[in-house]
Amino acid sequence: MIGRLNHVAIAVPDVAAASALYRDTLGARVTAPVTLPEHGVSVVFIELPNSKIELMEPFGATSPIAAFLAKNPGGGMHHICYEVDDILAASTRLKAGGARVLGDGTPKTGAHGKPVLFLHPKDFNGTLIELEQV
């Protein structure tokens, strides 16, 4: 069901500083920052030849990554995003298998303008999984 690795996301306290680190120290290509109020984050993507890294800074008072950064003040790996062909079919199959889809289970529009869902980390070896329909 899952396809390519779309991106690995890292929560950071300062997305501009993290962008500079990737651009200047690691020599990576970094996209312009985008704020996603619906997701409570501001993001950039590091464009690698075979995948992407998402750097996310909290946005707004109720950011879903605020608690994560409180526990990991310097930042840390937050989620992994896999591609799926049909997100509603994937959601139905996962729920039937007992996995918990976060929120109300309805896909939201993700950073690439495509539908995304998140799966409970306790159901997947302690890893928060994002599914993106491509």
Active-site residue list:
130
Instruction: Tell me if 12 contacts Co ion by CB under 5 A.
Output: no
24 or 105: whose CB is closer to Co ion? 105
Q: 25: which 2 tokens?
A: 């120290």
Output the smallest distance, CB 61 to Co ion, in A: 21
**Those residues with Cβ within 8 angstroms of residue 51's Cβ, 6 or more apart along the chain or in another chain:** 4, 5, 6, 7, 8
Output the smallest distance, CB 91 to Co ion, in A: 17
Which residues inside 88-127 make contact with Co ion, applying CB under 5 A?
A: none
9 or 44: whose CB is closer to Co ion? 9
Phi, then psi, of 60 in degrees rounded to 5: 85, 170
How many Å apart are CA 133 and CA 3, to the nearest integer? 10
Name the nearest CA neighbour of 94 among 119, 68, 57, 62: 119
DSSP conformational letter for 67 = H
Instruction: Tell me if 9 contacts Co ion by CB under 5 A.
Output: yes
Among residues 10, 44, 58, 130, the one that binds Co ion under rule CB under 5 A: 130
Which residues inside 36-75 make contact with Co ion, applying CB under 5 A?
A: 54
94 or 110: whose CB is closer to Co ion? 110
DSSP lists the bridge partners of residue 55 as 10, 44
Question: Total binding residues for Co ion by CB under 5 A?
Answer: 4
Residues of the shown chain interacting with Co ion in the complex, contacts defined by CB under 5 A: 9, 54, 81, 130
